[in-house]
Structure 1
Amino acid sequence: MSSITQRIAQTVGIVGGKSPQELPWDPDNTRLPTRKELPKIEGAPDEAAWFWGKDDYIGRLNLLTPKRVKAAATEIKTGDLVPLNLPLNVPEQPAFNREKFVHKIKALAENIAYDDTYHLNTQSGTQWDGFRHFAHIATETFYNGTKGHDIMGPNANHNCSIHHWAEHGIAGRGVLLDYRSYAKANGINYDPYTSHAITFEELQKCGKAQGIDIRPESQGGDIKVGDILFIRSGFIESYHERSPEERTALALRPHAIGTDDKQKYAGVAQEDAVLDWLHDSYFSALVGDAPAFERWPTPEPYHLHEYILALWGMPLGEMWDLERLAAKCHETKRYFFFMTSAPANVPAGVSSHANATAIF
C-alpha cells in the first residue's frame, strides 16, 4: 500500500461504497478526509485533493452520483421553477474590464427566417468558473496537474475543459444561505460594492436563523455530501438599485493584481474556518451572486479561488440571480431545493454560462 493510501486508510471512515484506501476514491462514500486529514500527493501543491483519477477533470462533480441525484429529487414538492440566470446583457458593463455582450440579428430571408449571433465573454454574466480559469498561483498549476501549456499553445489539449462538465451534467440538492437578508435583520449594514467579508461565524448564524445547521452531516449538521451551496451577498439587489451611470463607473474602477485593486466586492472571507468548512462539507459546487464569490481583493496571501478550483476541483458559480430564489425560500420556509444546470459543451472551453434552474 502506498503512503498516500495508508494515510487515507488510517484517517477515513466509510459508509457504503468501496474503501477510500482504494484509489481513485469511490464518489458514493459518505465520509471522506477532512482538510486536515488530506494526504500529500507527490508532485502536487499542498492540500491538493486530486483523488478521483489520473484523467479526472470534473472534480467534485463526481459526488453527483445517480444515488445522490435521485435523493435530491425528493426536494421537488410543488414543481415550481425558479430560473437563476441573469440576462446575457447584465451587467451592461461587466466587472474586471471584461467585454460587453453583443447581440446581432441576421435575416436569412426577410419576414420568413432569422438567426442571431452572440459575442460574449463567458465571465460576463451568470457563469461557472471552469477549472482552466484560475490556477494555484505559487505553482502555476490548475486542477489535477493541468498547466498553462495544456490550455494555450502548440500542445494545447482538453485537460480540464468545460466540456467534461457538460458531458457529466450538473443536478443535485441546493441549499441557500441568504446572508443579505440575515445581515439586514441584524443591523449589519454594508455595500456589496465594497470588500465586506462574510465570515464563517456569520454564515453559521445565518444558517441558524433559517433553521439550518451548516455543519457537514458527518459532524451532526444538515449539509450532505454533494450538496450545492448558494450564498446571497446582495450584489444583484444592489446592482438593480443603482443608476446605469453609477453601475458603469463602479465596474470600470481600476483593476490591478493585489491589495491595490480598486475593484472591490463583498464576498466570503479568506480564513481557515471557511476553508475547513468548504472543504469538509464536500459540496459538489459553490454558487454566489457577486463577481468574485470571495471578498475582493483578498487581504491574505492566497485566494479562495486557488483552493476551490485548482486544489479541490469544486465548480464555482458567480453572478447568479438569487433574488427570486431567496424570495421563494422565504415564502416557503424551505432553503433546500433541487437544482439543475447545463454548462456549454465546448471542447477546450474555460468557463460557461450556467443555464440553471431551481425546482421546489
Structure 2
Amino acid sequence: MMNWTKRPEGSNWGDFGADDELGRLNLIGPEQVRAGLATVTEGRTLCLSLPLDLPGGNLLNPRRHPPRLSPTELDGAQYVNFPLANLDPALRDVISDDRVILYTQYSTQWDSLAHVGAMFDVDDNGVPEKVYYNGHRADRDVLAPAKTGGSSRAERLGVETMATHGMQGRAVLVDLAKVFGTNRRVIDRDDLMHALDATGADIRPGDFMMLRTGFAERIVEMNGAPDVEALDRTGAVLDGHDLALLQWITDSGIAAICADNYAVENPDPPLGATLKLPLHHHCLFKLGLPLAELWYLADLAKALDALGRCDFLLTAPPLRLPGALGSPVTPIATI
C-alpha cells in the first residue's frame, strides 16, 4: 500500500516500490559498480573531503558549528595520555580515547532524503502537510524531539539506508571552474550542457555527477576564517528555478549530485518564489536523489585532466548512523 494518495507532479514516488527509501540510488547496481571499476587504470586514490573542521566558525550557517573533541571520562579521570598504572601499578599501557560533538552537515557531507521535505496535499484532501520523499510523513517517519523525548530521528529515510546500499559506482567530474572560471555564476541547463560538451563529460544513468566550482578551494585558502562576502562571489551554483535543468536531471538518470560548494544550488530565490531551495525540492523530495556538499575536488580535477578523462570510481558511504538526517563523509576517488 502506498504512503500517499497523490504524488507530486514530476516525481517518481512509487516507481521503486510503495515503501522505498532509496530513490534514485536504486539505479546504482552491479552494472554501475563494474562501470566504476572499469575506469581504474592507475590504482591511485584521492581523498575528496575537506578537513571536517572547515569551513571554520558558523558564518556560513549559524545553526552548524565545527566539531569539538574531548576526552572520554571514567570516575573523574580523562582518558588522554592516561597511564593504566594509575589503576594497576603493574600495567605499562597509556590510553588516549575521545568523543566528539559533531554537526552532521557542517563540512563535507551527504544530505539524507529526510533532509528536505515540503508542505504537500499527499492525501488529496485539500490539506497540505509536512511530507518527505515517497510520502514518508513528519511526526511518524521523521521525528522531532517532541515525539522522542528530546532527540531527532529519521525512522525512515535516514542516512543508514544510503550507507547499507554502499554508495559506490561510476562518477563523472564536470569541471565548471575550468569552463566558467571560479567567480559566482548561476548555471542553467544550457550552461551545464556547454560544460559537458567542453569537458567531454559523459553522463550515464546511475552515475554520480560531480561538480567542481572552486568554492571548497577558497574555503581551504581561508584556513578556518571564512570571508562570507568573498565566498558569495565564488563558484558556480545550479539554478533550481530553471525548469529545463530540473527536467534534464530527471531525464539523465543520474543517481546523485556531489558539489564542492555550499548548497549545490543558488540559495537566493527570486521575488515571489514559493521555494527557497527548488533543486533540493526536486532532487530530495520528488526524485529521492541525494545531494552532497563541500567536497574537495581540486586534486581530482588535476589528476583527471592529466589523464584526459572525467570518469572514475567513487566510494562514498555516509556514516551508518541510524536515524541521522545527514552525515559527514570521506569520499575516495580511485583512478
TM-score when normalising by structure 1? 0.75
Q: State how far apart, in whole Å, the 1-side matches of 2:119 and 2:216 are.
A: 29
The equivalent of 1:151 in structure 2 is: 142
Partner of 1:282: 253
Verify: 1:59 aligned to 2:41, yes or no: no
Specify the SS of the correspondent of 1:92. coil
Other structure's SS at 1:93 match: coil
| Paired residue secondary structure (2:321) | coil
Query: Which among 70, 86, 89 is matched to residue 104 of structure 1?
Result: 70
State the SS of the aligned residue for 2:96: strand
**1:209-262 deviations in whole A, cap 9, x for unaligned?**
2123xxxxxxxxx321101000112111222344754x15559x9xxxxxxxx9
Alignment CA distance shift 1:244-1:159 (3 Å): closer
Give the alignment of 1:1-360 within 5 angstroms: 42-50=5-13, 51-94=15-58, 95-97=60-62, 98-105=64-71, 106-107=79-80, 109-110=82-83, 112-138=94-120, 139=128, 140-149=130-139, 150-152=141-143, 153-154=146-147, 158-184=155-181, 190-191=183-184, 196-212=185-201, 222-242=202-222, 244-245=224-225, 247=226, 250=229, 266-270=236-240, 271-299=242-270, 300-302=273-275, 303-360=278-335
TM-fit CA distance, 1:297: 1.6
CA distance in 2, matches of 1:134, 1:109: 44
| Other structure's SS at 2:197 match | helix
Aligned length: 295
Amino acid at match of 1:45: P
The one-letter code matched in structure 1 to 2:283 is: I
Larger Rg belongs to: 2
- Read off the aligned partner of 1:147 and give its amino acid letter: R
Displacement of 1:83 in angstroms is 0.8
1:157, distance to aligned residue in structure 2 (A): 5.9
Equivalent position of 1:14 in the other structure = none
Q: Which runs of 5+ in 2 are unaligned?
A: 72-78, 84-92, 121-127
Shift of residue 334 of structure 1? Answer: 1.2
CA contact (8 A) 1:82 1:358 kept: yes
Cα distance in structure 1, aligned partners of 2:134 and 2:173: 29
**Separation in structure 2 between the aligned mates of residue 346 and residue 141 of structure 1, nearest angstrom:** 22
TM-superposed CA distance for 1:112, in Å, is: 1.2
Counterpart position of 1:31: none
Q: What letter matches 1:278 in structure 2?
A: I
Q: CA deviation at 1:45?
A: 2.0
Alignment correspondent of 1:19: none
Query: Quick one: which amino acid aligns to residue 224 of structure 1?
Result: R
Task: Please state whether the residue corresponding to 1:56 is helix, strand or coil.
Answer: coil
Give the distance between the partners of 1:329 and 1:240, measured in 2 at CA.
Answer: 21
Q: State the Cα distance separating 1:181 from its structure 2 match.
A: 1.5
Structure 1 range deviating more: 78-87 or 146-155: 146-155
CA contact (8 A) 2:316 2:330 kept: yes
Q: Spell out, residue by residue over 1:301-321, the C-alpha distance to the aligned partner (whole angstroms, 9 max, x if none).
A: 331100100110011100111
Aligned residue identity for 1:125: S
SS of the residue aligned with 1:295? coil
More deviation in 156-165 or 124-133? 156-165
Question: Which segments of 5 or more consecutive residues in structure 1 lack a partner in the other structure?
Answer: 1-22, 25-40, 213-221, 254-261
Q: Could you say what secondary structure the match of 1:203 adopts?
A: helix
- In 2, Cα distance between equivalents of 1:275 and 1:358: 27
Q: How far off is 1:342 after superposition?
A: 1.8
Q: SS at 2:147's partner residue?
A: coil
Residue in 1 that maps onto 2:74? none
> What is the aligned-residue identity percentage?
29
